[in-house]
Amino acid sequence: MSELIGLSGASLAGYAYLPQIRHLIQERCSAGISRSAFLLWLLASVLMTIHAVLLPALVFIVLGAVQIGAIGVLLFYSARYRGLVCPAHALDPARDSRSGIWSKSAPEKAALRR
CATH code 1.20.1280.290 for 2-113 = yes
DSSP string, 23-76: HHHHH---TT--HHHHHHHHHHHHHHHHHHHHTT-HHHHHHHHHHHHHHHHHHH
Q: What is the pTM of this model?
A: 0.76
**pLDDT at residue number 19:** 92
Q: What residue segments make up the domains of the chain, in order of their start?
A: 2-113
Residues 35-51 have pLDDT tens digits of 999 999 999 999 999 99
Per-residue pLDDT of the chain (114 residues; tens, 9 = 90+): 888 998 999 899 989 999 999 999 999 999 889 999 999 999 999 999 999 999 999 999 999 999 999 999 999 999 999 989 888 888 765 655 554 444 445 554 444 445
Q: What pLDDT sits at residue 107?
A: 53
